[in-house]
């Protein structure tokens, strides 16, 4: 199974001065591409202190000059791993455009006010789901999960306020590197990576594909 990527060259001159501005350009193009489903879907990779990795797909909910934010159950596998080893990698796999963005950096919990503000924007069912699912824990059956949800729905019917779970909140990945990958023919891809230097300064380096 093989595909030849036929795209335009990506050069350092094409890049914005800093990575978030460049991400904004590519994210806008990905969001406007009907072939890319859920452009904010990203693979989050974490690791235990002894280096055992794990990955899963989550949705990017916010980004700015500080970092990239997603929300999760802090008691989940990724939540526990980040508590013990606060470094993560994010991968945006925009395959139809033959593009990827890879972010690596330190993960930190967002402030409680930011978590509460986002939680209030979630659909009612998603708010209940945050309580119903003991994420990453072993459960006996799907019926058990649905029973927990139904119990919560009875106690917090549509239109009522659902409290924010104390074990649930945001994670911000503050980037140390951000790589922009553009596929090309013969596997001679462009890989341009921003690397953080002192403060908010960045340098760009080209990686061999």
Structure tokens at 24: 């904004």
Cβ pair 15, 195 in contact under 8 A? no
3-state secondary structure of 30: helix
Cβ pair 147, 169 in contact under 8 A? no
Give the integer Cα–Cα distance in Å for 190 and 200: 24
Give the integer Cα–Cα distance in Å for 98 and 185: 11
State the catalytic residue, choosing from 187, 193, 196, 203. Answer: 187
Question: Would residue 206 show up in a list of annotated catalytic residues for this protein?
Answer: no
Catalogue the active-site residues.
Answer: 187
């Amino acid at each position: 199974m093989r595909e030849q990527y036929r795209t335009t060259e990506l050069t350092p001159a094409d890049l914005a001065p800093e990575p978030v501005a460049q991400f904004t350009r590519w994210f806008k193009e990905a969001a406007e591409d009907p072939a890319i489903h859920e452009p904010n879907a990203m693979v989050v990779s974490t690791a235990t202190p002894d280096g055992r990795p794990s990955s899963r797909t989550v949705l990017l909910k916010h980004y700015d000059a500080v970092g990239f934010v997603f929300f999760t159950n802090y008691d989940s596998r990724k939540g526990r791993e980040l508590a013990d080893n606060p470094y993560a990698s994010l991968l945006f796999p925009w395959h139809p455009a033959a593009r990827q963005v890879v972010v690596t950096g330190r993960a930190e919990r967002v402030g409680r006010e930011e978590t509460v503000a986002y939680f209030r924007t979630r659909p009612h069912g998603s708010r209940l789901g945050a309580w119903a699912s003991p994420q990453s824990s072993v459960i006996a059956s799907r019926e058990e999960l649905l029973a927990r949800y139904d119990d919560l729905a009875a106690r917090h019917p549509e239109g009522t306020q659902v409290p924010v779970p104390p074990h649930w909140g945001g994670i911000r990945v503050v980037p140390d590197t951000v790589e922009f990958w553009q596929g090309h023919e013969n596997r001679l891809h462009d890989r341009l990576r921003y690397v953080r230097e002192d403060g908010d300064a960045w340098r760009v380096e080209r990686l061999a594909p």
